[in-house]
Amino acid sequence: MKTNQSLAALAIFGLMVLYFLMIPSDAEAAGSQGGVQVSIAGYYWYDPGSWLNTTNGTTVPILGCGADAVAQGGVPNCYPDPPTPANCTITPSGSLVADIVDSEPGYQYMHVRVIDESKPGTVTASANVSGEAGVSCDPVSWAVSAIGKYDPNNSCKVCSSAKGSPSAGSGNVDNNSVEFRLNLGQSAIESSAGFLWLDADGPSTSLAQPSSLQLPISSVDVQVITNTGGVISQVRAPQMLVNIYVVNAYQYQLQCFYATNITAFTNGLYGTNAAAFDTWVVQNPDTNSAYNRLWITEQPAGAVRDRKSVV
């Protein structure tokens, strides 16, 4: 019987050691006492305050590229009680959504991203736990929280080019023959969701038709919808929907909608409940008389951009 009790005690001690080995290095300062920690966009908050100065409810800025958020912690408790993992939550609202990177008892790690750059959003990270700590088994209760805020008026909207994820709906036109890229924004899995591409070495009658569009690079979380002829009709990415509207044989539009304005998939296409935040018009201005000119014009909501000519 004593042997069984010793083995049981050794097993519980091993679980407690394993629990503390799983706490990242930032939490090691808590030692055997345990504690809770949250971080948003590289800013950290702890409880108990002996780790670092605790500032609950502090707000930090979220940039257009999004940010990582982590909540973690626990208390070891006294033998023979097992450790208690903290209650960890990461809650986005408004224009922010959170994708799970890792989740287990006492640990939540999410990537927060902006799905509508024109609207504000917040994310709250919190962790709390109660139990017994220390050699005297003192009762403890720890809690910490922080808020990340995306402000469309004050936050950088364009993702860093170093991360390879231009903002959703932005485009690039090059007069080196014909080259146009419509960026699909950020992916939930990779840095970039990819881009729609119009590329040709010289003029042709098909350049003003969507049959010339390609999707050479895209993330696995991008959905491409084609018509019966295999021509792209819509592209749904995590941050946006591109709807391809054909005006006539010499003109079509790339209508860009925020992800928050996408409605149900009906009759083979997604619907929308708001106006496009940006529209790119691809047009042969000479219609059937010639095809050596192609105009690509951006028409963002509430503004008019210069027309870009490709010869």
**Residue 188: per-residue pLDDT:** 65
For residue range 2-36, what is the model confidence (pLDDT) as tens digits? Answer: 344 444 443 433 433 333 333 333 333 334 468 88
For residue range 214-228, what is the model confidence (pLDDT) as tens digits? Answer: 888 767 788 999 999
**Between 205 and 311, where is the model more confident?**
205
**Residue 210: per-residue pLDDT:** 94
* Report for 43-52, 110-119, 264-273: range of highest mean pLDDT: 264-273
Q: Which of 69-78, 113-122, 157-166, 290-299 has the lowest mean pLDDT?
A: 157-166
Mean pLDDT (the chain, rounded) = 77
Residues 64-81, mean pLDDT to the nearest whole number? 84
**Residue 50: per-residue pLDDT:** 42
Count Cβ neighbours within 10 Å for each residue of 26-44 and write b for 16 or more, e otherwise: ebeebeebbbbbbbbbeeb
**Residue 164: per-residue pLDDT:** 45
Give CA torsion, residues 120, 221, 217, 155, to 10 deg. 10
**Residue 22: per-residue pLDDT:** 38
Please tell me the pTM assigned to this model.
Answer: 0.49
**Between 254 and 26, where is the model more confident?**
254
> Residue 108: is its pLDDT beyond 70?
yes
> Residue 99: is its pLDDT beyond 70?
yes
**Residue 30: per-residue pLDDT:** 36
Helix (H, G, I), strand (E, B) or coil at 242: strand
Give residue 206's region: left, alpha or beta (phi > 0; psi -120 to 50): alpha
Closest CA to 112 of 42, 12, 26: 42
The counts of H helices and E strands in the chain are: 1, 23
